Chains A and B, each alone.
Chain A
Amino acid sequence: MADESKDTTHFGYQTVAKSDKADMVADVFHSVAAKYDLMNDLMSFGIHRVWKRFTIDCSGVRRGQRVLDLAGGTGDLTAKFSRLVGETGEVVLADINSSMLKVGREKLRNKGIIGNVSYVQANAEALPFPDNYFDCITIAFGLRNVTEKEKALASMFRVLKPGGRLLVLEFSKPQLEPLSKAYDAYSFHILPRIGEWVAKDAGSYRYLAESIRMHPDQETLKQMMADVGFENTTYHNLTGGIVALHRGFKF
């Protein structure tokens, strides 16, 4: 953490005023929304699909449940959840960014996924839902971009039903030194090049690599979840810790 003073936060490696971060993150995602899925596949060599699948396997959703896919972006998880909860269930795709939400809605409707999915533009720090509302909340690759993570986690805790679970899929700290070196080289030298070439935007992908480094590591995030009230918090390292899936319950 670069700066912990009261009204500044980090945006990648820069230190910016807290009030500005949301807008700067928004600019990043307005810029990449159109090519988001293609870039995900290119950057992760398609492994992000396996990570998301593992998340679904850990979610334990049933028919008729209500699921919130927070920072759901282009709706990969929503599509799957919508089929798993069935017609009696409900999935809410929420994202703070209107461009991402539009791309997600367009994609899901084109796939024929309608009926039990609704779309909400919402800030994770102040979720516009009643208390004890969702059976399961997932936030995949989104927590990193939230300005005040504690506030967001507390807000998720509030809308989660007792017995419900929160799943946080997020980049984390690689556990092996050689892997970490290769990963650093890849994300600082090759990623921005791919970003420049495909999405015509190297800056956004430099931000991506930097924001991953600034994100709390596995144990810190686990502690943050426990601090806002989540119980039985655990995490799984995926692909050597490049990504970690944190899970916490509300009882």
Chain B
Amino acid sequence: MTLTPLLTASLETALNQILYRDRSLKAARQRLSGKSLAIELAELKQPVTFIFSDLQVDVVGNWADKPDCTVKTRVATLPKLRDRQQLTTLIRSGELEVEGDLQLVQQFSTLLDMAELDPAEYLAPWIGDVPAQGISQLARRGFNAARRDVRRTQSYLAQTLTEEWRIAPGGLELAWFAEEVDALSASLDALESRLSKQEAK
């Protein structure tokens, strides 16, 4: 009960920061103004409704009116919404169900696509362009290095387990074992059918 207001509040703040701060997005925003878009996620019990107006978007957990457009999808599909070209593919594959004004989804998708999601953009007004760019580059490099590190550690650990200590089978061993089992079951099938043929005589 109290979780939903928290969720809608953080969603609203995030969307307003991303979509309603930049003046260059005004034309795209104006087309959405006055419309309402409901999103029903399979993971959530309640639909979340976006009410677009001139000054900001409001995220409401419980909208009594009929929304102009309803989208049914799952959380994993949401990032793909940014790509307008995939929209029809998503609808055809059934990952995205749209009821009502399809154009609304397209316009929202355009708006999301046009919005800059670069962290440097949000730091720049506070500390200036150059430090912001520097910091975001540094952060990105650090993040990539950390990810590489994690991946390397993972492979070291896997190799230690399979090659050094031999307490778990390696990938090839496992595949070989699976094939052996398949072959065994195939020969068992053959034997069985031969046996039943002999018994039938």
The chain A residues found within 8 Å of chain B, CB to CB, are: 49-50, 53-54, 56-58, 60-63, 80, 83-84, 86-87, 111-113, 236, 238-239
Contact = CB atoms under 8 A, between A and B. Distances in A.
B62 A60 contact: yes
B5 interface: yes
B2 A239 contact: yes
A57 B34 contact: no
B60 A56 contact: yes
A83 B51 contact: yes
A50 B64 contact: no
A62 B49 CA distance: 13
Given A49-B9, A50-B9, A238-B2, A57 B60 contact: yes
Given A49-B9, A62-B65, A83-B56, A57 B4 contact: yes
Interface of B: 1-2, 4-6, 8-9, 34, 51, 53-56, 58, 60-62, 64-65
Contact of B2 (A54, A58, A113): A54
Contacts of B51: 83-84
A57 B65 contact: no
B34 A50 contact: no
Nearest to B46: A57
Contacts of B65: 62-63
Contacts of A49: 9
Most chain A beta-carbon neighbours within 10 Å: one of B1, B2, B56, B62: B2
B189 to A, nearest CB: 61
Nearest to B52: A83
Contacts of A61: 64
Contacts, number: 44
Given A50-B5, A87-B34, A58 B62 contact: yes
Contacts of A87: 34
Contacts of B64: 60-62
Given A62-B65, A84-B51, A111-B55, A54 B60 contact: no
Nearest to A52: B5
Contacts of A83: 51, 53, 55-56, 58
Nearest to B12: A53
A54 B7 CA distance: 11
B2 A50 contact: yes
A86 B34 contact: yes
Nearest to B1: A236
Given A49-B9, A84-B51, 16 more contacts: A50-B2, A50-B9, A53-B8, A57-B4, A57-B5, A57-B8, A57-B62, A58-B62, A60-B62, A60-B64, A62-B64, A63-B65, A83-B56, A86-B34, A87-B34, A113-B55
A83 B6 CA distance: 20
B55 A112 contact: yes
A60 B65 CA distance: 8
A49 B9 CA distance: 9
A191 B57 CA distance: 34
A54 B5 contact: yes
A75 to B, nearest CB: 14
A112 B62 CA distance: 25
Nearest to A83: B53
A84 B2 contact: no
A177 B55 CA distance: 44
Which 3 pairs from chain A and chain B are nearest by CB? Answer: A62-B65, A60-B64, A53-B5
Contacts of A62: 64-65
A45 to B, nearest CB: 13
21 contacts: A49-B9, A50-B2, A50-B9, A53-B8, A54-B1, A56-B60, A57-B8, A57-B61, A57-B62, A58-B62, A60-B62, A61-B64, A80-B58, A83-B53, A83-B56, A83-B58, A84-B51, A86-B34, A112-B54, A112-B55, A236-B1
